Structure 1
Amino acid sequence: MSFYTSLNGLKNAQTDLGVIAHNIANAETTGFKKSDTQFADLVSGGPNTEPKMIRGIGATVVSMTQSFTLGPIEQTQRATDLAISGDGFFTLRGGETGKTVFTRNGAFEIDGQGFLQDGADNRVQMMAVDANGQPTNPGTTLDVFIPQQNAAGADLSGVTVQKDGRIRAAYADGTVDTIGRVALASFIAPTGLRQLGSSQWEASGTSGTASYGVPAVGRFGELQSGALERSNVDLAEEMVGLITAQRNFQANAKAIDTATQLSQTIINLRS
């Protein structure tokens, strides 16, 4: 039994090492959220087993839970780079696929058609607003589209995004038009979001469906234009975890070695 108990320990330590290595590898990935490995003990016993005779038989991996704590904010001075100072996710919709994904990576740019997107044809979503900047159809999102010319035929000269998510386009004739407000999404259980890579997630049955709102309202954080959220990986913490996982692996390997020696001794006694 000790062989299998220690073997489980080896596998668990290997899983922990893999998760930590993934965190360290993405220490410089914009919008990345680290994961932590959660374990639970295993016991062998039934309802009729004497409680004092129930034995432990090792551990198992329960989950690899993501931590959505805020990462450091880095200034970039690019108007279309956005960071969320608080809760919420940017909503992206594929220009061709129509697939909806969510991200904390606000490295956006305006493409040749005038859509604000992430460089992979995933278009940032916004809410249409009235003259006072209030959403006209809450919960409904549409692609952020920046007209290259206004109604008077003046060319676009710049785009700014305010803390409350208002997207304002300035034109060569001095006029400024409010395009809409950046839409943010929240979830009942964000740790249940399914990872897709590239600092993107999609909703799952565990996370629940997305609830949409605008920045600086209710639980949603403010936007910072000209900034990006860095990875929330703490390298010092990960290095400590790496050493601990390595020691766990070595200890379980030693336990297997000790069990092997005991078995060999018993075999030698009988021979």
Structure 2
Amino acid sequence: MSFYTSLSGLKASQTDLSTISNNVSNAGSVGFKRSRAVFGDLFAAAPTQSTKTVAGQGVRLNGITQQFSQGTLESTGRTLDIAIAGEGFFVVRGAPPRSETSFTRNGVFGTNSDREVIDTLGNKVQLLPVDANGNVTSTAIGSMFDFEIPDVDPADPTAVLANITIAKDGLVTATFANGNTLNLGSLAMSSFANSEGLRPIGDAHWQATGESGDPQLNGAGQGSIGEVRSGLLERANVDLTEELVSLIGAQRNFQANAQAIETANTLTQTIINLQV
């Protein structure tokens, strides 16, 4: 039994090491959220058996949870580099025919050949409709539309685009050479009842699950969603000092469980070699 108990400890330590290593390797990834392995003890006894005379049976992995704490904001000076100061997520949509909706903290956005704003995976950034005053008019999922940057003023085709600005509340405004301005929409943002229940799909992107709850859309600055910061990016929330200390602890746990297996093997071998 001691072999299997220590084996479960070895597997747990290996998972812990893998989780910490993943955190360290992604310390430079934009919008990355560190993970933590959560373990629980294994114990079993018959209803009529006294638990005072029963040892535990090892450890098991309860889950690997992501920690959605705020990362440090780093200035880039690029308009389409956008960070979130809060708990929200950008909403992006994949290409047809699946057009899957996902949520990201990675605000490294650019444009494609159709002047559509896309993320690092090629998903299209979504906007919510606004009125003339820049107020969001609908937060329904069906009201979202692709973020497209116009090249000329719709009211004056001779006036080319001068610049794009993104306010803290997510309002996107285009300014043209003739001085006219146009509100393109507000960045679609989402929050969740349980962010830890989101399913990671890589590159600081997640998908909603039954555990996370349905996405709650709104504009930036509403509730816990937080504000957006144009010209900044959110660094990974990984503290290398903390991770390295945890790495040492996980390594010691692995070594201790390996030593326990070696000790059990020595005792078993001694019993087998006993001569009557």
Normalising by structure 1, report the TM-score. Answer: 0.97
Q: Secondary structure at the match of 2:48?
A: coil
Correspondence 1:144 to 2:132: no
The verdict on how the C-alpha distance between 1:44 and 1:270 changes in structure 2, with shifts beyond 3 A counting, is: farther
What residue number does 2:127 align with?
A: 126
The separation in 1 between residues aligned to 2:89 and 2:275, in whole angstroms, is: 66
Counterpart code for 1:152 = D
The separation in 2 between residues aligned to 1:163 and 1:261, in whole angstroms, is: 66
What residue number does 2:59 align with?
A: 59
Mapped contact 1:45–1:55 kept (Cα < 8 A)? no
What residue number does 1:15 align with?
A: 15
What residue number does 2:81 align with?
A: 81
What residue number does 1:110 align with?
A: 111
Q: CA deviation at 1:172?
A: 1.2
Q: CA deviation at 1:119?
A: 4.0
What residue number does 2:32 align with?
A: 32
The separation in 2 between residues aligned to 1:213 and 1:17, in whole angstroms, is: 38
Moved more, 79-88 or 137-146: 137-146
RMSD: 1.2
What residue number does 2:224 align with?
A: 219
The separation in 2 between residues aligned to 1:27 and 1:158, in whole angstroms, is: 33
Which of structure 1's runs of 4+ aligned residues deviate more than 4 A?
Answer: none
Mapped contact 1:24–1:233 kept (Cα < 8 A)? yes
Correspondence 1:175 to 2:180: yes
Q: Secondary structure at the match of 1:174?
A: coil
Q: CA deviation at 1:51?
A: 2.8
The separation in 2 between residues aligned to 1:221 and 1:46, in whole angstroms, is: 52
Alignment size in residue pairs: 271
The separation in 2 between residues aligned to 1:44 and 1:217, in whole angstroms, is: 48
Identity of matched residues, %: 46
Unaligned runs of 5+ in 2: none
Counterpart code for 2:146 = D
Q: Secondary structure at the match of 1:254?
A: helix
Q: Secondary structure at the match of 1:56?
A: coil
Correspondence 1:157 to 2:169: no
State the Cα deviation string for residues 137-196 of structure 1 (Å, max 9, x = none).
222321112211112011112111000000011111111111111111111111011110
Mapped contact 1:155–1:171 kept (Cα < 8 A)? yes
What residue number does 1:255 align with?
A: 260
The verdict on how the C-alpha distance between 1:119 and 1:18 changes in structure 2, with shifts beyond 3 A counting, is: closer
Mapped contact 1:2–1:259 kept (Cα < 8 A)? yes
Normalising by structure 2, report the TM-score. Answer: 0.95
